A and B are shown apart, each in its own frame.
Chain A
Amino acid sequence: MERKTQKVKSLQKQKRKFRKELLFLLPSVIGVIIFYFIPFCDVLLRSFRPEFGGGFAGFDNYKAVLENKAFKIAVKNTLKFVVIYIPILLIFSLFLAVLLDYLREKQKIYKKIFLLPMAIPVASLVLIWKVFFGEFGLINRILSCFHVIGPDYFHTSFAFLVLGITYLWRNFGYDMLLWKTGIDAVDADLYEAAALDGAGFVKRFWYITLPQLKEMGFVIIIISVINSFKVFREAYLIGGDYPNQSIYMLQHLFNNWFVQLELGKLTAAAIMLACVIIFFVACIERILTPKEG
């Protein structure tokens, strides 16, 4: 027994020295440096270089970007998308998770089915979305039964709505499952105690479930943000390089600047976007980082 504790102590001592185990990190760290860190520094440097020739351009590129009309539109659309659809997605999927929890029966089959849209590749959706949302498509056919004449969803500002619906359709099951996992992990005793104290369903949800979902909530927010960037795929496959203006996202703009070799503007805009993301990470990282010893 004594020997064991001694061994444990020596193990703890070792922790402060250099550890061979860090070699396990090496491949990943080297890869991240080559494919992400060096490119980032390069982008940063480029953003201060003039569009043509060498030298130092100061903040000229940044100014040019901020005055650029396409940039304003793309920022507006991207921001609008994030601000409108992420909250809808989070609240809707949480609501569903609570309903599913309340339902108890048939949970498994619903979970399975709700996850399915995530598994449908973007390329498979392109044609069927035309059948649904085309000017003479299924949705408008149904609307016409109520004597409503539907718009052409792809070539008007309704495209933004189609993109939002696609995002919700694809992600609500995934987010719901994550919420449900969080709800399942809440200690059942707490509910019983609260129920004994006469707390109703709503109160129990508000005072017990919700606070315990905090950490899961942040993970879900991160995943939802990442997935919201991915709607570009649907937008691109449906609309190409220049879709309807309402779904012209930052990614379209970046791609087009890349093709036109407007690297000064591209890198300056990239750095600004990166700053926004770094700020976002700084806000939430404390909750997610494993503790340092």
Chain B
Amino acid sequence: MKKLINLCMMFLVLLIFAPIFITIVHSFMGMSELELNIGGILSGSQKPVAISLLPSYPTLKNYKELLLYSEAFYQMFWNSTFQSVLTILGQVIVAAPAAFVIAKYQFRGKRVLFWIYLIVMLMPFQILMVSEYLILKNLFIINTHWAIILPGIFGTYPVFILTKVFMNISDDVMDAARLDGANSLTLLCKIVLPIGKGGIIAVMILDFLECINNIETPLVFLKDKALLPLSLFFPQVSIYNAGAVFAASVVIMLPTVLVFIIGDEYLETGFQAFQIKG
């Protein structure tokens, strides 16, 4: 029985790795080999693909081309970095105190507030896009990095998760600190944030992924091509740039994959927070 389960799991592992692996392999192939393998897909001729598991003549040419000569890619990479870093930092700074209050204090209207946050979290961006566009225009930040960053900062998903995380912190610890004369700010900085560190890092990891994948807002709020993030990097692929596009795919996935592998433990702590009984 266990063997059978293991077999199924291995099959799933294969399904996960196949696309990733093939992308990586192709990023090291020269043009003639790519032509031989996947030329049919790119040119529309009827030649079926042939996948080889290792490049016969591995080369770093694609990466060199991408990183040194493709200015657009370089620009987009920095746009993504800038937008993600500021959004994530802003989100944590705004969401952590709010989540702390929602999790640990009683006040009138809490239920309504949480309700609204839940709705905001679930609304697809397109519902508000017209009016959000106008607001950003009135704030004179349409078609700037801030048009992506500011609405991102006030997204309510981090508040939702962090509330759950902070609810797990025992009230006894906080009461003890209060008796020692700690005010709320000290409580937040000295107790809640350190204890909730795992959850906060989990939120940041999920945020990062969200920022990297965000195509809805840049599509509408950015007209200037020089501001677009990596998520909108999808050039017309031909046999001449296929290698570079594969290399780009690898470069784009590298940061998130690394963050996920390194932050694995924190993600699990974050997930455990969902478990708490309201």
Contact = CB atoms under 8 A, between A and B. Distances in A.
A132 B22 CA distance: 10
B97 interface: yes
A245 to B, nearest CB: 19
A263 B131 CA distance: 10
A288 B275 CA distance: 11
Interface string B91-121: 0011101101111011100110111111111
Nearest to A286: B278
Nearest to B246: A127
A24 B10 CA distance: 48
Contacts of A35: 132, 135, 150-151, 154
Query: Interface of chain B, helix or strand or loop or mixed?
Result: helix
Interface stretch (A56-64, A65-73, A202-210, A265-273): A265-273
Given A123-B233, A230-B213, A46 B115 contact: no
Interface in A96-124: 96, 99-100, 102-103, 105-106, 110-124
A290 B114 contact: yes
Given A36-B120, A114-B12, A20 B184 contact: yes
Interface string A1-34: 0001001100100010001111011011101101
Contacts of B246: 127
A124 B253 contact: yes
B115 A181 contact: no
Contacts of A105: 2
Contact of B184 (A7, A8, A21, A291): A21
A204 to B, nearest CB: 16
B124 interface: yes
Interface string B262-273: 001001100110
Nearest to B212: A121
Interface stretch (A83-91, A192-200, A276-284): A276-284
Among B115, B126, B212, chain A packs the most CB atoms within 10 A around the CB of B126
B104 to A, nearest CB: 8
B89 interface: no
Chain A residues touching B, range: 35 or more
B129 A258 contact: yes
Contacts of B237: 127, 130
B62 interface: no
B111 to A, nearest CB: 5
Interface in A35-66: 35-40, 42-43, 46
A32 B160 CA distance: 13
Nearest to B133: A258
B106 A216 contact: no
Contact of B213 (A11, A121, A254, A266): A121
A99 B274 contact: no
B175 A28 contact: no
Among B13, B123, B150, chain A packs the most CB atoms within 10 A around the CB of B123
Contacts of B60: none
A290 B102 contact: yes
Contacts of A115: 260, 264, 267
A160 interface: no
B65 to A, nearest CB: 15
A237 interface: yes
17 contacts: A24-B100, A25-B97, A28-B98, A29-B98, A35-B150, A35-B151, A111-B264, A116-B16, A118-B209, A134-B40, A137-B41, A138-B51, A173-B16, A226-B121, A267-B130, A274-B127, A289-B115
What 5 A-B pairs have minimum CB-CB distances, sorted nearest first? A31-B154, A293-B106, A39-B131, A24-B97, A28-B98
Interface of A: 4, 7-8, 11, 15, 19-22, 24-25, 27-29, 31-32, 34-40, 42-43, 46, 96, 99-100, 102-103, 105-106, 110-132, 134, 136-138, 140-141, 144, 169, 173, 177-178, 181-182, 185, 215-216, 219, 222, 225-226, 229-230, 232-233, 236-237, 250-251, 254-255, 258, 263, 266-267, 270-271, 273-274, 277-278, 280-281, 285, 287-293
